[in-house]
Chains A and B, each alone.
Chain A
Amino acid sequence: AQSVTQLDSQVPVFEEAPVELRCNYSSSVSVYLFWYVQYPNQGLQLLLKYLSGSTLVKGINGFEAEFNKSQTSFHLRKPSVHISDTAEYFCAVSDTGTASKLTFGTGTRLQVTL
């Protein structure tokens, strides 16, 4: 079984500042890693995913994440945030088997202010 920990429930940041949202996972098998974003009153949208290969993954809206196997982390970063980035961000993991069961973290609320 896998688990995901997002230690920060809320992250306040000023517009144009950099941000890092932390995600750590636990698994006894190989995993795929995902970051999803949920805007108010909407469903989840994929930001990026790590399957294999380069540990630095680039996603939509200027976000990127780095997979660190030794630290079992997959932190999400953006060098300069915008007001429109205000949303809930979820880290998720699934094993590399044939069935797809996403296990989500508890989410991090990113609040961008002027």
Chain B
Amino acid sequence: DSGVTQTPKHLITATGQRVTLRCSPRSGDLSVYWYQQSLDQGLQFLIQYYNGEERAKGNILERFSAQQFPDLHSELNLSSLELGDSALYFCASSVGGASLETQYFGPGTRLLVL
């Protein structure tokens, strides 16, 4: 158990809908990362937050947005969902967000768009 929690574990929705994925980092970690794992694209970095502020951005679509709240939990919002958004979405956390730190991954949220 990494200490990172993600809810829900599974999500089934329809095209065009909007969903919110939630992540709680390890106790004491200030930085949160979101990744998408799909058969087509592999594991891709989406976005990083540090203490509530966006720190780095990867291949995140404009239909996707994220935020980190004062209690340090984070939410990833996916809107206007398409079939191709079906994937496993991981959240990870680290202490300070520096590139040399170990990122601790949650178990993921499996999203299926029908």
- Chain A positions within 8 Å of B, measured between CB atoms, are 32, 36, 41-46, 49, 51, 90, 94-107
B96 CB to closest chain A CB, in angstroms? Answer: 9
Q: Are A100 and B107 in contact (CB under 8 A)?
A: no
Chain B residues near A101 (CB, 8 Å)?
Answer: 45, 48, 56, 58, 99
Alpha-carbon distance between A106 and B43 when the two chains are bound, in angstroms: 7
The listed residue (A42, A43, A44, A97) touching B99 by CB distance below 8 A is A97
The interface bits of chain B over 38-52 (1 if a CB of A lies within 8 angstroms of the residue's CB, else 0) are: 000011110010000
How many residue pairs link A and B with beta carbons under 8 A? The number is: 68
Please report the C-alpha to C-alpha distance between residue A32 and residue B33 in the assembled complex, in whole angstroms. Answer: 17
The answer on a CB contact under 8 Å between B98 and A102 is no
Main secondary structure, interface of A, reads loop
Partner of B56, one of A36, A46, A100, A106: A100
Q: How far is the CA of A106 from the CA of B31 in the complex (A)?
A: 25
How distant is A20 from chain B, measured CB to nearest CB, in Å? Answer: 21
Q: How far is the CB of B28 from chain A (nearest CB, A)?
A: 17
In chain A, what residue has the closest Cβ to B102?
A46
